[in-house]
Structure 1
Amino acid sequence: MKLEKTSKDFPRGGVEAAGDLVEEYPGYVDPNAYGVNEKRLMAKIDFRVVPVLCILYLLAFLDRVNISNAALYGLKEDLGLLEGTKYNTVLVIFFVPYILFEIPSNIILKKFKPHMWLSACMLMFGVMTIIMGFTQNYGSILAVRFFLGLFEAGMFPGCFYLLACWYKRTEAQKRYSFFFSSTTLAGAFGGLLAAAIGKMDGVRGYRAWRWVFILEGLLTAVVGLIFYFCIPDFPEEAKWITEDERAFIKAKLEADTGESHRHGKMTAKSVLKILSDWKILIGGVMYLGLIVPAYGYAYFSPQIVRNLGYSPIQTQLRSVPPWACAFGLAMLTATFSDFMRHRFLFTIIPICISLAGFIVLFKIHGPVNIMTQYSALFLCAMGTYSAMPIIICWYACNLGSHARRAVGTGWQVGFGNIGGIVATFAFLAKEAPLYPTGYKLCISFICLSALSCAVYFTGITLENKKRDQGKHKLSHLSKEELSAMELGDDHPVFRYMT
């Protein structure tokens, strides 16, 4: 069956005709040929996939950063974290296993089913958060934070990997941004929840900071058990779609990014080959540049607001509005990005907003400028958390095949989170309330992200032109030879979205 394609189905840099190979990637797949109502199917996928992953990641991010809320309620004093960089070390220990196990977790996710792996991880990091509420000293909270990082390692790249297996590139950005904005919702929800929990100080003999961990961890663990039955699997195995719908999804995604090779074997050699691609490597740098300001804001904005002269509960409440505005801008940016079928400019504009916010925080100080400093926090949150989902979606959806998505998304999130280590040691207590080192590092890494995005955009634009001219290194091979090589986005027919 040969299906017609229309120009509206070609994103900028999408899969287009390339000589005789156009029949392999037809570009447009008619849902009527499969007896499928595409609009109804997309609504069903959105309902089953996106909300579950949003809740999962909201709770994961909440359990990761709620230590910043707990710190306002006496955690540092009770556990002896006021000396030197002990508190910063407690923050950074999370990232050691988190960075190392990103790619292995995605490989496990590929081998097994997402509903099994992701729900098990969710249950365990919920348990770790509960245990954190009972820690008694510096050593115990270090150990628990280490295991929290271990069990959370697969959450973020795993969810992005799964999303990329359900949506075409021109469909993906709004879903990615809505999912990623779980972080902003978690920040807002965490502030409100922490403000309420603050009134439990002394209940059953526990300080308020302990209740922050116990109650939020309990919520996560219970949801993790329930989500064993709710988290969607890959399209190839999902039982809630019909065989005709499955065939249509498979055909549509292959027309967009090539064959998925869901059950293809992965070896150490194939992983290293994927990691040798410059596009894979630059994706990690693009993300790294924004992780530093993202975690700098997530972990230290409550303390920055506190330094403006507010009480602990007022601080928790005033931390909510910047997160809420960040969610709004992220969704607006995503909508326009999908409409324009373009990514690069929609990374640069929010990056500039974030850059402006951190420059204001670095340059403007003093009690007469409190509202200016508080307003700058809005720019920091809105810019950073709007650019990040665009970067991740742009990169992840330009990866063809299950193997390249599993390794590529794991690499991007794993390498990028090295920035979490930088961020946790950038904002030192001895430099409060000005934090010159923290702000300088955030500004520098934001510029690094902008530069790497420009490099990636230039590189894939040139690569698209080369393929249009038939100058791809594999253009001389036959269709059968190319199919056997499991090339993914390295296929001569593939066109990158810019």
Structure 2
Amino acid sequence: MVTFLEKGVLPGTRSSVSVPDDGDVVDLEINTPARRERRKVDTTVLLLLFLGLLVFQLDCMNLASALTDGFAKEIKVFQNNTNLDSQLMFPCIVVLEIPSNIILQHIGPQKWTSAQVFIFGLVVTLQVFVKNNTGFLVSRSFLGLCKAGYIPGGIYTLSTWYTKRELAKRVAVFFFGMFGGNTISTLLTSGILKLRGHGIYTMCVAMALLLLLPGSPDQPLRLQADDSKRMPGTQGLRIPISLVWKTVKHYRRWTHFISTVAVFPTWSLLIIYMPIIMMTLGSNTIEANALASVGGFLALGVVFFFGWLSDKINKRGLSVIIAQSLYLIILIITHSVHPNFGKWSRWGFSTTVNAFAIGYHPVLNSWVQLNCMDPREKSISIAIWVMSAISGLMTETQYYRADDLPFYSKGLQI
């Protein structure tokens, strides 16, 4: 009979991975050192990467806050120009996603991730010098180049620290940084608009990442017990072009990518323009931004619920289907009653849409990466998945147009 140590399993534990020769099953929850190690990872790796994504999104979403403060008039740009800004920023992010992940694999997340956060924080700080439309477009495009790779790099780093049954919830918490950033940005509008150089706090987060983010776990026993076939990563691995091409050709994963392109673009524009809609309906700037934030807060609970459900039932595909189906039903109902909206019913339906728009998203990501055995292939697959989401957002930027004011009926129909 094969011993626990020969299988890579800690003595006195059971594993969630079936063992072919004797059928033993593992449950790492009963192992106290494993639980202690996981808590340490939660309070270091997960927390730091979450903070990095939070400032990442705040730096993106400050545009929504600025629009309510007359920013467009100040530098002489109009709504369609701000749509073009987003459309330029997104391809700049896409073009460097895979190269960024290749660099991360080579030098490790501690150095590369902290450098990224510091650089895009610096770019945001320098935006205070933007005086016209040209400077606006150039600065936002360069910001996109600097942000490329942070999200897939952060997700991939998490995958090297957590077991399969722990990952979906942690990816959901990581994405709290993005979805929470949208919410917090509207709540902090008044303060943010007075702090014209607010990218400085982003650079502080970068220093925290550099000083506190641990290196690669290099296959601790807790992770090996979960999956004896797990390969090491995230540092010192070279990714040849042939492996990138092999990953791109893996046609089964393209169902994930196409789903992301189709569904994700329906999310963020309603959040961006909801404060404007509420101001049209009679709310002042503070009230409009506060009301717009509610959907984002609810979305955090929805995201975590589906992450928890996915880990609980261990059915990633089913969890994604349920989350996307609920969102589709809400969109159909909202579109059907849209012409009859009053102020508060319009706010209620829009808030519900915002709450359920991205419940599937972290689980879909976990589904993609749990089917990758090679860490290099996983890194590239995550990058392509994020590129799919960003590519979808490029089309979304033109959904809401100035000629569709005040309630963007055509945009909602699309």
Normalised by the length of structure 2, the TM-score is 0.90
Q: Match for residue 134 of structure 1? A: 129
Q: Match for residue 463 of structure 1? A: none
Quick one: which amino acid aligns to residue 345 of structure 2? Answer: T
Quick one: which amino acid aligns to residue 235 of structure 1? Answer: P
List per-residue Cα deviations over 1:168-208 (Å, max 9, x = no partner): 111111111111122222122111111344xxxxxxxxxx4
Q: Match for residue 302 of structure 1? A: 275
Q: Does 1:440 align with 2:402?
A: no
Give the Å deviation of 1:140. Answer: 0.2
Paired with 1:139 and 1:220, the residues of 2 have a C-alpha distance of 25
Q: Match for residue 449 of structure 1? A: none
Is the Cα–Cα contact under 8 Å of residues 28 and 34 in structure 2 kept in the other structure?
Answer: no
Is the Cα–Cα contact under 8 Å of residues 354 and 381 in structure 1 kept in the other structure?
Answer: no
User: 1:222 is matched with which residue: 165, 189, 204?
Assistant: 204
Quick one: which amino acid aligns to residue 258 of structure 1? Answer: R
Give the Å deviation of 1:365. Answer: 4.0
Give the Å deviation of 1:95. Answer: 0.5
Q: How does 1:298-447 map to 2 (within 5 A)?
A: 298-365=271-338, 369-441=342-414
List per-residue Cα deviations over 1:242-270 (Å, max 9, x = no partner): xxxx5414523542x53346555321111
List per-residue Cα deviations over 1:108-154 (Å, max 9, x = no partner): 10001211111111011111111223210000010110111111111
Give the Å deviation of 1:356. Answer: 3.6
* TM superposition outliers: structure 1 runs of 4+ over 6 Å: 4-8, 29-32
Is the Cα–Cα contact under 8 Å of residues 195 and 316 in structure 1 kept in the other structure?
Answer: no
CA distance 1:326–1:364, change in 2 (3 Å):
same
Secondary structure in structure 2 of the residue aligned to 1:94:
helix
Paired with 1:158 and 1:336, the residues of 2 have a C-alpha distance of 24
User: 2:230 is matched with which residue: 238, 252, 258?
Assistant: 258
Quick one: which amino acid aligns to residue 230 of structure 2? Answer: G
Is the Cα–Cα contact under 8 Å of residues 359 and 439 in structure 1 kept in the other structure?
Answer: no
Is 424-433 or 282-291 further displaced after alignment?
282-291
Q: Match for residue 193 of structure 1? A: 188
Is the Cα–Cα contact under 8 Å of residues 330 and 386 in structure 1 kept in the other structure?
Answer: yes
Paired with 1:7 and 1:250, the residues of 2 have a C-alpha distance of 13
CA distance 1:316–1:100, change in 2 (3 Å):
same
Q: How does 1:106-145 map to 2 (within 5 A)?
A: 106-145=101-140
Q: Does 1:37 align with 2:33?
A: yes
Is the Cα–Cα contact under 8 Å of residues 243 and 377 in structure 2 kept in the other structure?
Answer: no
RMSD: 2.8
CA distance 1:301–1:394, change in 2 (3 Å):
farther
Q: Match for residue 79 of structure 1? A: 75
Q: Match for residue 46 of structure 1? A: 42
Paired with 1:119 and 1:401, the residues of 2 have a C-alpha distance of 25
Give the Å deviation of 1:367. Answer: 7.7
Q: Does 1:269 align with 2:242?
A: yes
Quick one: which amino acid aligns to residue 63 of structure 2? Answer: I
Q: Does 1:280 align with 2:253?
A: yes
List per-residue Cα deviations over 1:393-417 (Å, max 9, x = no partner): 2212222221111110011101221
Paired with 1:219 and 1:186, the residues of 2 have a C-alpha distance of 14
Structure 2, unmatched stretches of 5+, are none
Secondary structure in structure 2 of the residue aligned to 1:265:
coil
Give the Å deviation of 1:338. Answer: 1.5
Secondary structure in structure 1 of the residue aligned to 2:297:
helix
CA distance 1:306–1:162, change in 2 (3 Å):
same
Is the Cα–Cα contact under 8 Å of residues 126 and 221 in structure 1 kept in the other structure?
Answer: yes
